[in-house]
Amino acid sequence: MQKNILVTGGAGFIGSHLTDMLLEQGHSVTVIDDLSTGSVKNLSSVRSNPRLNFVVDSIMNVRLMSELIDWCDHVYHFAAAVGVRLILDKPVQTIETNIRGTEIVLSLAAKKQRKVLITSTSEVYGKGAKVPFCEDDDLVLGATIKPRWGYACSKAIDEFLALAYWREHRVPVVIVRLFNTVGPRQTGRYGMVIPRFAEQALKNEDITVYGDGYQTRSFAHVHDVIGALNSLMNTPTAVGQVFNVGNDTELSIMELAQLVKAQTQSQSEIRCIPFEKAYDENFEDLLRRVPSLEKLKRVIDYAPKYSINDIVSQVVDHTRREMESNG
């Protein structure tokens, strides 16, 4: 059935891919994005679609948000501070956008009883050492002098708030913890490793591995991720619950650097840079981060289709095209 769907942050990396998919499914989509980290370019292939309404504004504009939530059946809430680099550079904006923005979305959704998908992050697991991470594990966050944990806490508050709105006001919410979602359109500007490595390799510059490169991540292709989000939104038993979404194949950052170098046949050197030089002395990286996907697979039919090879090759192609079009 055709629905009216609001995507906050819909000009961003993940939001724009989801917008493409929802339009393809025949829905009407309103995107609200302040273009702080998103880009009009991400929506270029759907801009002329008559079922897309693109609003450049902030989710803090309560009157506007009230109208948009009134109009829609479902809300996918992506608008938030994103990327380790941005989080360190703009800690106030990070905390305020994440907490206040989500509060606005949830309070308006409560008035109209709209269904909301809240995007949280694997960062909330913090330094948890028990791998893989399960949704009901304890959160192990670091000291407040380290701004990274302010981001994790702000997203954890979003989760508490969403669950509270479900319990107290019966707002149908689904919460997802996204694990290193990657793919074409992701920018390296805010720190994300794969687009950064791809650009460095294509320019034959040093590929900068932070730390010793033994830290691992589990990278999921954005198409696998948006498929899962869409299924969760349409699965009644997912309401009021938290789900990990990602890919559970683990890879070290050094292996990733080697893969990008091999796929681009680059002349780049792989160079290790201490964390305190890459960020600052208050930075804390995470050693391992792997999702348990058991809970997700119990509720929806989910099997990631894209391998890390597919991901790197698509990101490299995208980066090459971007570099060509920028001269």
Active centre residues (catalytic): 151
Residue from 49, 215, 235, 249 that binds ligand UDP (CB under 6 A)?
Answer: 215
Tokens, residue 318: 């995208």
208 binds ligand UDP (CB under 6 A): yes
Q: How far is the CB of 37 from ligand UDP (least distance, A)?
A: 14
Residue from 229, 253, 312, 315 that binds ligand UDP (CB under 6 A)?
Answer: 253
196 binds ligand UDP (CB under 6 A): yes
How far is Cα of residue 287 from the mean position of the Cα atoms in its chain?
A: 19
Tokens, residue 282: 């208050």
Tokens, residue 9: 């942050």
206 binds ligand UDP (CB under 6 A): no
312 binds ligand UDP (CB under 6 A): no
209 binds ligand UDP (CB under 6 A): yes
Question: Residue 93: how many CA atoms within 13 Å on its side-chain side?
Answer: 14
Number of residues that bind ligand UDP (CB under 6 A): 13
CB 112 within 8 A of CB 171: no
Distance (Å) of CA 42 to CA 60, 226, 235: 22, 15, 28
141 binds ligand UDP (CB under 6 A): no
CB 145 within 8 A of CB 129: no
Q: Which residues contact 219 (CB under 8 A, 6 or more apart)?
A: 180, 181, 182, 194, 247, 249, 251, 256, 308, 311
Q: Which CB sits closer to ligand UDP, 156 or 193?
A: 193
Residue from 84, 229, 300, 312 that binds ligand UDP (CB under 6 A)?
Answer: 84
Stretch that binds ligand UDP, among 33-41, 72-80, 125-133, 189-197 (CB under 6 A): 189-197
Residues that bind ligand UDP (CB under 6 A): 84, 180, 191-193, 196, 208-210, 215, 217, 253, 285
